[in-house]
Structure 1
């Protein structure tokens, strides 16, 4: 099992100041996706990102498979199964989410919106809601079975929940107005922020090929009545700059820019090389939201 854990790691970076004897002073951030787990450890007292790790696994087609994937990593990991953390923050990167205007306040409407955009089940899923600064809230669902697993795993810690779209939007809004794309293994989240801090587009798409991803980006550019030649696209996620998806995108979009990790959090020199500057922006953004 340990060999499998090593084979699945995409990166693992720790600060020299990370001390496993002080986990009760740190917050743990777990980004949950159907095909990958990203881990962040944050020291709120010193505003320092202490660890970033990323693991891939076979895409989970159901909740049971996802829990098995997570369990396999947690049980062989050096600190994930620790009993005491100051806080545990679960960041959902699952596809069951929607942006709902703030004037929509009833749960029934929120659930109906989730049913239209995903495989939401009121019997099997629990609905969460996070406010944003854009006049809308991120409403998302987690399988109740998955929530119960987290509650059991971290029963001695306070657990909070967020959707990565929320921390991603909040963070990139501090960077520049424009189209921002967070590219995962098989999904892409595309948002468009404006100079007045408003949000004119936000959605997640599943893709299989670089051509699929290109189609969705060009679709959004067209929907916003923008020009592919003049529009700047900001790329975030764990793709490297020479990935097939990026090379394909550059054939049609003139201005492709990779994002940089937030500068208002401290990092040790170990983070200079890995992960990529444009990776884990949502994890780091979540550290700032939930200090």
Structure 2
């Protein structure tokens, strides 16, 4: 008997009228997993277009293991998770990651690299890596082993790729940001976490994820990193994506301390069903950005 309780609710759903599950072999399924949400998007490769988006809010979920449990429950009722897709690519959001130069990377020492920067549990977590060809770097990261097992069981005969959230952000931001002489900061906001990236003339210069509890924590980390990177908040522009709105407390405190705050756009060179037009362009950036990984 299944004793696992349901702790999720479908908060948003979009589906293009032309989409059918019979097209699954022509489509990619992208998933974003965090402790606050499980999100899906379907990308039709033949049409170069996003056609489906579903956002499940996780309620009273306090551990990575519970995320895997809720994913299994969603898979039992959601037909999207019972198809044979061309590709399934999943991003995992947590603080267990590190970037290592490719020239120094040895696959047999993945856990050693990660242990220097993360307090992951080697008995419980699975360690994976993703190669950033443009950066000549490896993103080494950990995710809960039971969640990884759930993904493998849900998609047993599908091309499954798991990446860290930061890899999708890096790929997408470097793809759409023109190389310029000045350095700029970019932020991806989740509930209680903010990913900060600094990009300069030579490319990526900084990337990390910070846990915040209050708006004061949130702005502290941003100002602290700006100062560490020798950036002047009174002169800089910060571009923001994610779970933030223009009338939120987080956005207001950003405007109080940083000269110009800009909400980011969806990745370019990709089409989106007209039904996506009702969404703020800076929302679901983590899902769209998965298409730019390789």
* TM-score using structure 2 length: 0.89
Counterpart-to-counterpart distance in 2, 1:255 and 1:249: 9
Moved more, 140-149 or 60-69: 60-69
Structure-to-structure mapping, 1:36-75, within 5 angstroms: 36-58=37-59, 60-75=61-76
1:286–1:172 distance in 2 versus 1, CA, 3 Å: same
Aligned length: 283
Q: Corresponding residue for 2:237?
A: 232
Counterpart-to-counterpart distance in 1, 2:11 and 2:114: 32
Cα deviation for residue 102 of structure 1 reads 1.9
Q: Corresponding residue for 2:151?
A: 150
Contact 1:34/1:59 (CA < 8 Å) preserved in 2? no
Contact 1:259/1:278 (CA < 8 Å) preserved in 2? yes
Counterpart-to-counterpart distance in 2, 1:10 and 1:256: 27
* TM-score using structure 1 length: 0.90
Counterpart-to-counterpart distance in 2, 1:61 and 1:101: 33
Structure-to-structure mapping, 1:113-262, within 5 angstroms: 113-132=113-132, 133-173=134-174, 174-176=176-178, 178-196=184-202, 198-262=203-267
Are 1:271 and 2:272 matched, yes or no?
no
Contact 2:99/2:138 (CA < 8 Å) preserved in 1? yes
Runs of 4+ displaced beyond 3 Å: 107-110
1:22–1:80 distance in 2 versus 1, CA, 3 Å: same
Q: Corresponding residue for 1:28?
A: 29
Counterpart-to-counterpart distance in 2, 1:221 and 1:262: 25
Gaps of 5+ in 2: 1-5
Counterpart-to-counterpart distance in 2, 1:220 and 1:284: 26
Contact 2:38/2:56 (CA < 8 Å) preserved in 1? yes
* Alignment root-mean-square deviation, CA: 2.0
Contact 2:241/2:263 (CA < 8 Å) preserved in 1? yes
Counterpart-to-counterpart distance in 2, 1:30 and 1:163: 11
Cα deviation for residue 59 of structure 1 reads 5.5
Cα deviation for residue 241 of structure 1 reads 1.4
Contact 2:24/2:83 (CA < 8 Å) preserved in 1? no
Gaps of 5+ in 1: none
Q: Corresponding residue for 2:80?
A: 80
